[in-house]
Structure 1
């Protein structure tokens, strides 16, 4: 953590997660892309459950023993009740700001190999949406770190979070390296995660983030190809091999969120960044074995045991 972060004596929140609360409808399809047809018979079925990027990062951090608090806009609708129930059942505190447009929702098409195509309902947000500044400031004052989802309206909370002196992280997901919407997040966080899926040159994008922003660590995840790690603007790009999942891969939904949670839990404890990446890789690999219709994340003991096993095996070579 940075030297100007609030002391442990002043905080009761290890990580404040902003944004990314919502509901997904999971549809398992026979293949992706889905062939055009008048109809498809879907098995194992269609299920709606709470859990979008902020929910899953909060869950991952909570399961790893960090005191986690979630803040977002939530509607007074059935989807909002699913979000509230998710947090109650998991024991994760939620500060919800009433949102007239309703709770964020998406449809996830999941193929047999676990790949996912997400369709987000863009009507659930407006350009003038804001998290109340006084609420952001009050929660940030109690926090040691903040993870900021790229959902509207979290970019507007970045100045208040920086004023509070907390370290910041964000996940740019499938940013193409040029969309201006992502730039406040990319340039405003100390730790930046993103997917390499839409990048022609991941290293160039990562170095641009480090050069133009405040990031000391940039991580680009690449699925089965592992991840790329940049520890400081002038450092060498490091490839982090993928970790073999402990069970068959059934769904990639939430793997990036799990990676971020595992990485951050280690980073906030002061671990070296390569060790943090290993924690993230183990957490992400576990997430790929969990069906999207079920809510789960790796626990602290299991994560530590697998990291220790892999570290010992690597040392043995």
Structure 2
């Protein structure tokens, strides 16, 4: 039977604004070069890429009964992503200020609180039925960490631009069998990756933007992969696509260097669209 993935975390409705430079922290005026609205959310991005790769995937996310929620649900349904929706007190919304070079400031306009757990029996059953659990940084996945650990399934986490100190990330790191991050706020990415292997993870990976990615395996060996060529349109979701490509390849039994190369190829597809994945493009 084909291995399956359960993902819990954010799916959002985003406003993207492209600027010639990120705003300075002083009162001023800038003109946008371009702007659009689209599906966002780190878990939605991973689910889209895994679905496009043909991997059996189930996304659990929270939305509210509002217009942004309808857009989020409709976009994922139209892309063929299997979903289970929890009742959120808000639909997550972001305003992303971007530059052509990939600089980003994400303003969270709304974010759902954790639920009361009324649907936990069904969610845990879905976790048990999967081969890998991906938990992304949000209040609801944090609440679900004990249930995920109790299944005995491998847990993959993405801590994004972790600085090595923030408290919110630590329970995710403690539970993780595989850790992904980017190098934006780490002084020594390789040292951080080695610290996660020493703490019990079997895989730790850091994306390095245009320089590709570096990984440390369970034996402490270092692996590097260059970025795949891409005509960059928008960088949102590239890290999520990279994780999805690596995960899919590992579930196919491929070795780590081959899996890292698969992640780079998957990320390049996302870099070439202004949406989280080409699946969302409309004629």
The normalised TM-score by structure 2 is 0.91
Of 65, 71, 76, the match for 1:87: 76
Of 32, 46, 49, the match for 1:57: 46
Of 209, 233, 246, the match for 1:263: 246
Following TM superposition, by how much is the alpha carbon of 1:163 offset from its aligned partner in structure 2, in angstroms?
2.1
Aligned partners of 1:184, 1:144: CA distance in 2, in Å? 21
Of 92, 99, 102, the match for 1:104: 92
1:114 maps to which residue?
102
Is 1:30 the equivalent of 2:30? no
Query: For this pair of structures, how many residues does the alignment match?
Result: 280
Q: 1:172 to 1:93 in 2, by over 3 A?
A: same
Which SS does the other structure have where 1:161 is aligned? helix
Aligned partners of 1:127, 1:99: CA distance in 2, in Å? 8
Which SS does the other structure have where 1:117 is aligned? strand
2:258 maps to which residue?
275
Runs of 5+ unmatched residues, structure 1: 1-7, 299-317
Aligned partners of 1:212, 1:224: CA distance in 2, in Å? 29
Q: 1:273 to 1:98 in 2, by over 3 A?
A: same
Aligned partners of 1:251, 1:54: CA distance in 2, in Å? 18
Tell whether the 8 Å contact from 1:74 to 1:98 is kept in structure 2 after alignment: yes
1:221 maps to which residue?
207
Tell whether the 8 Å contact from 2:114 to 2:143 is kept in structure 1 after alignment: no
Which SS does the other structure have where 1:253 is aligned? coil
Aligned partners of 1:297, 1:254: CA distance in 2, in Å? 13
Of 10, 31, 43, the match for 1:20: 10
1:238 maps to which residue?
223
Aligned partners of 1:259, 1:295: CA distance in 2, in Å? 12
Deviation readout 1:152-185 (Å, 9 max, x if unpaired) = 1212212212222322211100001111211111
Q: Which structure has greater strand proportion?
A: 2
1:306 maps to which residue?
none
Following TM superposition, by how much is the alpha carbon of 1:241 offset from its aligned partner in structure 2, in angstroms?
2.1
Deviation readout 1:253-304 (Å, 9 max, x if unpaired) = 1110110111111011111111111101111122222124x74169xxxxxx
2:179 maps to which residue?
192
- For the pair shown, the structure with the greater C-alpha radius of gyration is 1
Following TM superposition, by how much is the alpha carbon of 1:23 offset from its aligned partner in structure 2, in angstroms?
1.2
The normalised TM-score by structure 1 is 0.82
Tell whether the 8 Å contact from 1:251 to 1:288 is kept in structure 2 after alignment: yes
Runs of 5+ unmatched residues, structure 2: none
Aligned partners of 2:75, 2:41: CA distance in 1, in Å? 11
2:63 maps to which residue?
74
Is 1:176 the equivalent of 2:163? yes
Tell whether the 8 Å contact from 2:88 to 2:113 is kept in structure 1 after alignment: no
Aligned partners of 1:231, 1:13: CA distance in 2, in Å? 21
